[in-house]
Amino acid sequence: MPDIQFNKTRIAPTPSGFLHLGNALSFLITASLAKKTGAQLLLRIDDMDKQRVNEAYLQDIFDTLAFLQINWDEGPRNVSDIKTQWSQLHRLGIYHGMLEELKQKNAVYACQCSRTQIINCKCDKLELPLDIPNVSWRLRTKNEKPIHIKTLENGIIKTTLPEDMNDFIVRKKDGYPAYQLTSVADDIHFGVDLVVRGEDLWRSTIAQHYLADVLESEGFKNITFHYHGLIMGGGEKKLSKSAGDTSIKYLREQGGTLSDVLKNTSIDEYLV
Ligand SMILES: [Zn+2]
């Protein structure tokens, strides 16, 4: 790895299930890179999806970090800290400011499609008012627009938005900001300059750069990304939160240790 220093990186779990080995791998790589590059480690909880968040999942994040012996410099210390200070709900003003900016730039349109209709969405042509209820806001995108992403190992990668990410949603039908927008806003807000992610989030990263370009955010463009491979479960299926037997909680309750996690994740192959 090049001898390089960063200011801040983050662990950003979504509390929508018990964390699994894949999350553990990502956290351990992030913590290791933070140490090697002198970066502060921020714990950010992506709790905007209120329907899927519950207290047991929030508590599991703290239990898992303790189990993995990961210390962080900034962010909530417990569940009540999240509620009083660190929840994304406390940053709604920032997200709505960003959405307003997109509106001013005429970069978004209202879409009233249901999940099944969205493939054939023609709402762009309808010019519906943005402020009517039960519409999502979609970003107007162009596939040919070049996107530049700074990576740790491969320098600047030039790419374009995948076709199925066209006009991705930045505000959901319930009026709350969508994941791509909150993630960009938070990384800028907290001054993150190193992001570690599993390869499955590469498409999200392209979408987020697209959004940051529209918003003319230099801060986001300067973030370096590090991608790591994913742990494969049986049958080469990506591990998911629904696979209860791979949860860290299950492992803890079975008397597992950190070294079991390290063995199961083959983390040495991923550490840089
Ligand atoms: Zn539509």
Report all structural domains of the chain as residue ranges with CATH numbers, in order of start.
Answer: 1-86+231-272 (3.40.50.620)
Q: Could you tell me the pTM of the whole model?
A: 0.91
On whether the CB atoms of residues 229 and 257 are closer than 8 A, the answer is no
The tens digit of pLDDT for each residue in 36-67 reads: 999 999 999 999 987 778 899 999 999 999 99
H or E, element range at 23: helix 21-37
Choose the weakest-confidence range: 51-55, 69-73, 84-88.
51-55
- The Å distance, Cα 166 to ligand 1 centre, comes to 12
User: Cα(213) to centroid of ligand 1, in Å?
Assistant: 23
Cα-to-centroid distance, 119 and ligand 1 (Å): 8
Distance 161 CA to ligand 1 centre (A): 19
Q: How far is the CA of 122 from the centre of ligand 1 (A)?
A: 6
Please check whether residue 68 is in contact with residue 28, taking contact to mean a CB–CB distance below 8 angstroms.
Answer: yes
Cα of 168 vs centre of ligand 1, distance in Å, is 11
204 or 49, higher pLDDT: 204
Of the chain, the end-to-end C-alpha distance in Å amounts to 6
Q: Which two tokens stand for residue 23?
A: 């999350």
Asked if residue 85 has pLDDT above 60, the reply is yes
* Neighbour count for residue 183 (Cβ, 10 Å): 25
